[in-house]
Amino acid sequence: MLQFTEDFEPGSGRSVIVDIKEELYSAKSDFQAVKVFDTVAYGRMLTLDGIIQLTQFDNHAYHEMLTHVPMQLSNAKNVLIIGGGDGGILKEVVRYSSVEKVVLCDIDPYVTKVSKDFFPEFRDAFEDSRAEVIHEDAAEYVKGKTEFFDVVLIDSSDPIGPATVLYEKEFYQNVYNSMKIDGIMSCQMESMYYHPEFIKEKVTIQKNMFKSAEYYYTMIPTYPGGSIGFSLCIKQGSSLCSARLDKNSLDTGSNPEIIDSLKYYDNKIHDASFVLPKFIGDVLC
């Protein structure tokens, strides 16, 4: 049987091995190798440069946690998605009736094309009248933008290749400038098991820039170590944000009609995701 293998960190001696029914798509864009597989256990799977980006089996654990943790703390009207060309984050954002405009900026049009062709569950989000899809360098796109976005969601791939710039201090500063005074940013922040020093470095940069920056995580079996983390960064905060960060009032401030439709995220998970194992808590303290 055909198998796909993704090695974890060098020297770890561990890999993700996925049994494949069929390779559905393979192409080399200007930026990366894009492939789609039909797997035995996980449904369809998208990979970029040999790294698993999503599967139909568990992508909700990633997309819901990157999106709804910040969105539940805001009545966002203007949202920016950086990366996320597959449309998984876009699908979650357009659930919110408060959103008037959502810009998705991903450098690689191949990812969007492939997602529309092979992942029909994301297709409708691209057709939402509030959505604008831009294929350009997001690091350049945010330059010069000031106090426009309520929420910025950075769905970046690993910090290699075209995504490297999305983890630099200058980029975070430009994103900060693009956000309204009470804006919130959430971004992909790697595995607590394999990248603790990387996480510490980037979250420290964010803590020195934003009013607050906190690491949280989700469980997703097809990613290295079975989990992936995010950082939640609040520019200055608002009364709504402060209230919903209060554990006792998140229930009344949230959107129950949205939460009831989800698979992973709810109010209890929101709180629990910030409770870190001691080993990563000690690194970040």
Could you give the angle at the alpha carbon of 244 between the alpha carbons of 242 and 249, nearest 5°? 115
Q: pLDDT tens digits, residue range 89-109?
A: 999 999 999 999 999 999 999
Contact present, 261 and 176 (Cβ < 8 Å)? no
Q: How far apart are CA 96 and CA 55, in angstroms?
A: 24
pTM attached to this predicted model? 0.93
Question: Looking up tokens 């129950």, which residue turns up?
Answer: 256
Q: pLDDT tens digits, residue range 19-28?
A: 999 999 999 9
Q: How far apart are the first and last CA of the chain?
A: 46
Contact present, 218 and 232 (Cβ < 8 Å)? no
Q: What is the pLDDT of residue 258?
A: 95
Q: What is the pLDDT of residue 54?
A: 97
Q: What is the residue-averaged pLDDT of the chain? A: 92
State mean pLDDT over 139-151: 95
Q: What is the pLDDT of residue 241?
A: 55
Given 3.40.228.10, 3.40.50.620, 2.30.140.10, 2.60.40.1180, which CATH number is that of 3-55?
A: 2.30.140.10
**Which tokens go with 43?**
């449904």
Homologous superfamily (CATH) for 59-284: Vaccinia Virus protein VP39 (3.40.50.150)
Contact present, 183 and 151 (Cβ < 8 Å)? yes
Q: What is the pLDDT of residue 81?
A: 98
Contact present, 175 and 101 (Cβ < 8 Å)? no
Q: Judging by DSSP bridges, how do beta strands 51-55 and 179-188 pair with one another? A: unpaired
Contacts by residues 203-209 (CB-CB < 8 Å, ≥ 24 positions apart): 203/231, 203/284, 205/169, 205/172, 206/172, 206/231, 206/233, 209/169, 209/172, 209/173, 209/176, 209/233
Q: Where are the domains of the chain?
A: 3-55, 59-284
- Residue 37 phi/psi, 5-degree rounding, is -120, 150
Is it the case that residue 275 has pLDDT exceeding 90? yes
State mean pLDDT over 243-270: 75
**Crossing angle of helices 196-207/169-178, nearest 10°?**
40
Q: What is the pLDDT of residue 197?
A: 95
Q: pLDDT tens digits, residue range 20-49?
A: 999 999 999 999 999 999 999 999 999 999
Is it the case that residue 200 has pLDDT exceeding 80? yes
Is it the case that residue 251 has pLDDT exceeding 80? no
Q: pLDDT tens digits, residue range 110-137?
A: 999 999 999 999 999 999 999 999 999 9
Q: In sequence order, which residues have a C-beta less than 8 Å from that of residue 113 and are 6 or more positions away?
A: none
Strand order in the sheet with 212-219: 131-134, 101-105, 78-83, 149-155, 179-188, 227-234, 212-219
Bridge partners, 53 (sequence order): none
Judging by beta carbons within 10 Å of its beta carbon (0-12, 13-18, 19+), is residue 159 exposed, middle or buried? Answer: middle
Please list the active-site residues: 155
If pLDDT is split at 50, 70 and 90, which confidence band does 247 have?
very low
Q: What is the pLDDT of residue 248?
A: 42
Q: State the DSSP H helix or E strand holding residue 33, giving kind and residue range, or none if neither.
A: strand 33-39
- Max intra-chain CA distance, the chain: 56
Q: What is the pLDDT of residue 99?
A: 98
Q: pLDDT tens digits, residue range 45-88?
A: 999 999 999 999 999 999 999 999 999 999 999 999 999 999 99
